[in-house]
Amino acid sequence: MHQNAALERPQITYNANHPAFITSSGTGINKLRSILPGLWSTGDSLIPASALTFTYQWNRSDDNRLGVPGRPIVGATSSTYRTSEADLKQFIGVTITASHPLLKPVTQVVKEGGAFRRDSAIRVLAKRSPRKQTVEIKVRVSADGLPYTSGRVEVLCTNKRRAGVSSRPVKLKRGKATLTVKIKGFGKRPKRAYCNVEYAGTADTRGDVEPNPLRNKSISVKLKQK
């Protein structure tokens, strides 16, 4: 009886120092998520961790607390999951269950750090210097699953010494905007400006478009001298 009681005790342990985590093939809709279960142990030398079986249930929730696993996504029970429109503004997570025939199963919830949003991309349609020490840039911002993207864009232009000037944020119209910057503080006759266009995100499409500052568009513009 004593031996059976010992085997029935919950001996599977999740190692928080080597946690499970979610990897991604990219941001946006229809991108693949994968779960790596992390390190687990059994507390019994006769039952190695390699003998454990893992099952998965992907969830979505509007609460990012780990104690709230969220609503199970129907059919999402493998180690991978492909995102969809239904995930917008939700926190994607996974409930991992580690089990063994002789031990009590143990579960662990893992979540992504931020709410899921559409991916965004910036495309430069035209760039020029229409008059002396002035930069004009026309851009289009797109987001997966939307015909047009709203929100605001702005541009920061610098010289080689990193002195810089920026434009005021400009509101997108049908996904497009024209940004104009008057170059000042670059010296007497700057020949070129190095500009970085940034999409600041939007609340107009229910806040579901990713600002994506890591994908700013960087370009250089030859400045008109006269």
| Domain spans, the chain | 2-111, 120-222
Question: For residues 183 and 93, is the Cβ–Cβ distance under 8 A?
Answer: no
Same fold, 2-111 and 120-222: yes
Report the pLDDT value the prediction gives residue 61, as an integer from 0 to 100: 93
Q: For the segment 90-115, what is each residue's pLDDT rounded down to a tens digit?
A: 999 999 999 999 999 999 999 998 88
Mean pLDDT of the chain, nearest integer: 85
Distance of alpha carbon 119 from alpha carbon 122, whole angstroms: 11
Q: Is 102 exposed, middle or buried (0-12, 13-18, 19+ CB in 10 A)?
A: middle
**Count of other CB atoms within 10 angstroms of residue 200:** 14
Q: For the segment 130-178, what is each residue's pLDDT rounded down to a tens digit?
A: 888 889 999 998 888 788 888 888 888 887 766 678 888 899 999 999 9
Domain 2-111 of CATH type 2.60.40: yes
**Would you list the DSSP string of 29-86?**
TT-EEEEE---EE-S-TTS-GGG-EEEEEEEEES---TT---EEPTT--SSEEE--GG
Give domain 120-222's CATH architecture.
Sandwich (2.60)
